A and B are shown apart, each in its own frame.
Chain A
Amino acid sequence: MTPIGMTLVRGEEFEPPGPSDFNLPGIGNDDTFTFLGQTMYSGITKPMLQLVLAALLVFLFFRMASGKRSMVPGRLQFVGEGMYGFVRNTLGRDVIGSQDFLRFVPLLFSLFFFILFNNIFATIPFIQFPTFSRIGYVVALALVAWLVYNGAGIQRHGFGGYLKLQTVPAGVPGYMLPLLIPLEFFSNIVVRPFTLALRLFANMFAGHLLLILFALGGEFLVLHGAALVKPVGVLTWVLFLAIAGLELLVQFLQAFIFTILTSLYISSAIAEEH
């Protein structure tokens, strides 16, 4: 990707950031291995540690918030109860229905707060890397969500009944069925995990790439720009702060969307036939 217009400044060329900036080496070593033609870093990398740290933080926070269980809650317990109530009511009961939503609340709760904490790592100083900007981590979550909603549907309706529910919409004339059934199967069972994964991954990747671009671009303009161009570099850094704020909103929104879509898929899988 060649920069357009960056040759207005003297000094060397600007090197735009790219996907290779997301390839973090192992801690303490630079060993690589080749897998399917790609060079991968081996060893324990920073996103791996972040994943474990996020799980630990979620567990610790809610353990401490639910420790005392007093009738009149203190501040930590109040916050913990509010967050749990949000997931249980808005993401669970209002979407899946009050009959059988309780079974799925642990999964939705874990998904939401795990994704949220991992996303927020992109804003915390010294960490500053969204774990889900590496697609491998997202694929695992999308796989879990896929298995759960298909499994719940098969458990409720049986294998054939579940397929019929997902692929044959109600009130469709018979001649449309050969066209509609493969389309519905593809859309409901094949495409959904892909869009779930790609939505979260692409949002985190694009957001982090934007931030890197603004930071590096500002540094380039300030250091190598002509005298009149240097304030533009400082303005770039101010915009970096604004976009970091926007990214905070996007991080919360993406965690919310992943979880509410999972619960929507579960709800449509266990819904009663018309």
Chain B
Amino acid sequence: MEGNLNMIGYGLAAIGPGVGIGLIFAAYIQGVARQPEAQGRLQTIAFIGFALAEALAIIGIALAFAL
């Protein structure tokens, strides 16, 4: 079976950001459920957190191709 070790590395590296993004949006949904008026302010913070957690997964896939 042929393949590339890079891709296995990327697959393992994507576990962390996956869990992290799930946690972030779980907190966002709970916050909006408790206080629907806060949806606008929480949405900004949720997207910032999403981009920060996603950054590691994206660095993973970019380097999996480049290295």
Contacts and interface: CB of A to CB of B under 8 A. Distances in A.
A202 B55 contact: yes
A253 B59 CA distance: 16
Contacts of A254: 51
Given A1-B4, A199-B51, A201-B62, 7 more contacts: A4-B1, A19-B66, A202-B62, A203-B54, A205-B62, A206-B62, A260-B44
A23 interface: no
Interface string B29-63: 00000000000000010011001101100110111
Contacts of B62: 198, 201-202, 205-206
B55 A90 contact: no
A92 to B, nearest CB: 13
A261 B54 CA distance: 14
Nearest to A254: B51
Given A2-B3, A4-B3, A19-B65, A203 B48 contact: no
A253 B55 contact: no
A90 to B, nearest CB: 7
Interface residues of A, number: 23
A195 B4 contact: no
A202 B48 contact: no
Interface string A165-207: 0000000000000000000000000000001001101110110
B44 to A, nearest CB: 7
Given A18-B65, A90-B44, A260-B48, A198 B55 contact: yes
A203 B47 contact: no
Contacts of A2: 2-4
Given A205-B62, A260-B48, A195 B3 contact: no
A65 interface: no
The 7 closest A-B pairs by CB, nearest first: A202-B62, A257-B51, A199-B55, A202-B58, A206-B61, A2-B2, A202-B59
Interface in A220-266: 253-254, 256-257, 260-261, 264
Contacts of B3: 2, 4
Interface in A22-40: none
A253 B65 contact: no
